[in-house]
Amino acid sequence: MKNILSFLMITIAVVVNTSCAETSYTEERSNAREAAKAAFNLAPIDPNQENEHIQYYLPSGFKVEREKPNNILLKSRRQEYILFYNQHESDQSDVIYDTAISQIDYDVNDTYYHDDRFGFLLMTPLNDETVEITVGIGGVKITTQSKVSKITDEAKKMMFIANSVEVK
């Protein structure tokens, strides 16, 4: 009898934990979608960084690790981001979005239109703990891999950066 009771308790604990993990991703995914859309619709933050082709905003704690043509590797603590830009594409362009969705089947595939700008949020789980997030506006996209618990904050910060990019 004691073994059956122990088995039932363990089974219930496993089911509850599994359900909570799924709910957590579901809730975070929903919150990330709202945060990215809200950040897209805000006025751009003034740039505080620049290179030969673009000016852009980096939140506090971010730094440029390395630059290559059309790619900037960013870092904030241990989190890495790739900022890709094509200075020949306008804010209305969907070329980068079309290329991205042709390569992966994303769990989240949201698009936005506001003030003659096209934006997007793409997310797909890589495993139970990690999600790939890509946000973009026109000829700009930013990609990172994030813990599930941080996807809302990441999507918002990334959209602030993408929204700020200005071609020189």
CATH of the domain at 23: 3.40.1000
Please answer whether residues 122 and 100 qualify as being in contact, where contact means their C-beta atoms are separated by less than 8 angstroms. Answer: yes
Residue 14: pLDDT over 50: no
Give the pLDDT score at 11: 38
Give the pLDDT score at 24: 86
Question: H helices within the chain, ranges in order?
Answer: 2-41, 95-101, 151-164
Lowest mean pLDDT among 5-9, 32-36, 79-83, 145-149: 5-9
Residue 126 belongs to what domain range? 2-167
**159 Cα distance to chain centroid:** 8
Neighbours of 14 (CB within 10 A): 10
Residue 8's pLDDT band, with cuts at 50, 70 and 90, is very low
Q: How far, in Å, CA of 155 to CA of 158, rounded? A: 5
Give the pLDDT score at 13: 38
What predicted TM-score, i.e. pTM, was given to this entire model?
A: 0.85
| C-alpha to C-alpha distances, 87 to 39, 135, 165, nearest whole angstrom | 22, 17, 10
Report the pLDDT averaged over residues 87-113.
96
Residue 168: pLDDT over 60: yes
Instruction: Report the number of distinct structural domains present in the chain.
Output: 1
- pLDDT tens column, 106-117: 999 999 999 899
Give the pLDDT score at 120: 98
Residue 127: pLDDT over 70: yes
- pLDDT tens column, 34-61: 999 999 999 999 999 999 999 999 999 9
